[in-house]
Amino acid sequence: MFFEQAIAHQIPNYTREADSAHGESLAMLDYKDELRIKDLAIQEFWDVNRLAGNPQKVIASPLSRGYRTTSKRRVYMEPGNLQFDRQESMLEPEEHNKIYDFLFEKLISPAYKPLAYALNWIIIRGTYKYRVVIFNIKKIDASIVRKLKLISDALKDSPLHVTAAHAYVDTTESAYYLEAKRPADGLNFKQLYGPRELSLNLGKFSLKYPVTGFSQINESQIHNLIKAASRMLSLSKEDHFLDLYCGYGLFSFALGEAAKSVLGVEWEGLSIESAKASAKYLKKNYRFVAGKIDEDFVQTRLPRPIPNEPEKILLDPPRKGCEPGVIHALAMRKPVRVAHVFCGTDEIPASLKEWERYGYRVREVQPLDLFPGTPHLETIVMLEKK
């Protein structure tokens, strides 16, 4: 069973066609009703797929609407006609819609026609306090640079509190808007104004990460996500903490103080460099390594576990899940505890069965509503060696 099927069983007349362009099929519900539906759906998903363990209550999001700190709009030109998705989203802050409206009014004017033809996406990132605009473009030349400069100057002078603007070249016109392969040669990122990094305040310290790097889109849930992972791993000064798919080091820095050592791994160069810079700035003796996390990497590139010293692993892969062989290679390290974070619920059954095959059992299942208004959950599953 797929998780969206379980959601559909709880809502009369639910269809995918009810989903809006922004994936907000549950956004019209009262949030208490949405949480009740998700609790019932994750339990049904667990039962039908005969999974070990029992999901706890879904942890509610402090912000149920207007929470997304990243949003995007596809832009393309049909002959003489600018196509720009101006549909307002209930899940995005109101300030995002104001910025998109401002940019649309600029782009429909003849003066910005070269830029309008070059655009793939307009992306807004940041926090609830500040915003950054990224122009994803399919090509760049002197004329387009001039128009980018003009429109970024207009943003800077506007009352919209846009603290930075950048251009990101994607000749593939990818649907992934920031994750596509960029040109190997020539210009692929242009800083128009403002900082090239974003910042996340974690209370005791802040972490910087690249404007094109991954970060959770629901900033209001990050504290609950960290708290749940901390409870499950229960790190101590005897433990070696391995943080896989660590990004810019969110879990490494939020949890690592309790561990004996910290090693973070992330494939993307800019994010891992941000983690290294944060470690240096915060004077943390943590190690961060760049590499594609596959079976070979785990077997040959990671340092071997130290005999008689416990290792605990946080595994937070992208929505599609781990590469084949990664769970097997990690199980061979015999960590005493693993917190496996699932962004895609449908990836859970196959992964848990693989962990079980290699001698691990489910001890705790904690869903979190990182995506209110949508038929999705983030779920942390804690596993221990049998």
Angle between helix axes 94-107 and 142-157 (nearest 10 degrees) is: 140
Please tell me the pTM assigned to this model. 0.93
For residue 347, what is the enclosing H or E element?
none
For residue 214, the model assigns a pLDDT of 87
- Separation between Cα atoms, residue 198 and residue 178, nearest integer Å: 15
CA 54 to chain centre: 26
Q: Is the dihedral of CA 381, 176, 170, 219 positive or negative?
A: negative
| Burial of 230 per CB tally in 10 Å (0-12, 13-18, 19+) | middle
pLDDT tens figures, 123-168: 999 999 999 999 999 988 999 999 999 999 999 999 999 999 999 9
For residue 251, the model assigns a pLDDT of 98
pLDDT band at 172 (very low <50, low <70, confident <90, very high): confident
pLDDT tens figures, 228-268: 999 999 999 999 999 999 999 999 999 999 999 999 999 87
pLDDT tens figures, 33-48: 999 999 999 999 999 9
Which strands make up the sheet holding 378-385, listed edge to edge? 287-290, 261-266, 240-244, 311-315, 337-342, 378-385, 360-368
pLDDT band at 52 (very low <50, low <70, confident <90, very high): very high
CA angle 46, 47, 50 (to 5 degrees): 85
Closest alpha carbon to 365 in 355, 374, 373 = 355
pLDDT tens figures, 280-315: 999 999 999 999 999 999 999 999 999 999 999 999
For residue 20, the model assigns a pLDDT of 52
Contacts of 360 (CB under 8 A, 6+ apart): 331, 338, 383, 384, 385, 386
| Burial of 141 per CB tally in 10 Å (0-12, 13-18, 19+) | exposed
Q: Is the dihedral of CA 257, 262, 267, 268 positive or negative?
A: positive
For residue 178, the model assigns a pLDDT of 62
Mean pLDDT, the chain, whole residue set? 92
- Separation between Cα atoms, residue 49 and residue 1, nearest integer Å: 6
For residue 10, the model assigns a pLDDT of 92
- Quick one: average pLDDT of 8-28? 75
pLDDT tens figures, 324-344: 999 999 999 999 999 999 999
For residue 80, the model assigns a pLDDT of 65
Percent of the chain residues past pLDDT 70, beyond the cut: 94
Q: Which residues are catalytic?
A: 343
| Burial of 24 per CB tally in 10 Å (0-12, 13-18, 19+) | buried
Closest alpha carbon to 42 in 385, 366, 266, 281 = 366
